[in-house]
Structure 1
């Protein structure tokens, strides 16, 4: 009677290495986004689907406009900094204390300057 050969084991080290490399990749890729200005407190809403804000216009409570960490003087200046596809769908990150009429006015000016869609980014509610 012949002895049965032992079944070969699957190499799990290769799988662990791949998972580890993916973890490192996503940790590095996640830090590429511009961090949100710490002086801005987001508006809270519930049950809304959130989106990332890579090219968003940040509006402080006093009405100051910021883009990628730099103060912007006007809506026209902001739109010239965006490439053509980004101008079609503009995102605004308003401070919680920004007056509603200022936000509506800002959105209207963006639409008048050529933005097809104006999205307001808020904090997801609990």
Structure 2
């Protein structure tokens, strides 16, 4: 079943052992989340979308079923709201992806949680 920003907020509220809400843009255009992993990966999306889940993430996204339309956006014109919800430094909107289902969202998070410290 297709997932939306509204659905993603609900799913992420059940995963508080793994992910925290990091920052909400003043205009509620983007909310960012930070994983409780060694690398503290950040991702953001519009929590109000009812047509799909379009995520910006600071690390290369995994190639998994249900994660599509992967696009590198670093250096391209993006919403200034993204600058407000990402921490900065290595944590900036680098990729844009579409996440199609709840299971794909859970797999997306599980992928980043499994990354070991390599730096």
TM-score bracket, normalised by the shorter chain, equals under 0.3
Greater share of residues in helix: 1
TM-score (normalizing by structure 1): 0.26
Greater share of residues in strand: 2
TM-score (normalizing by structure 2): 0.27
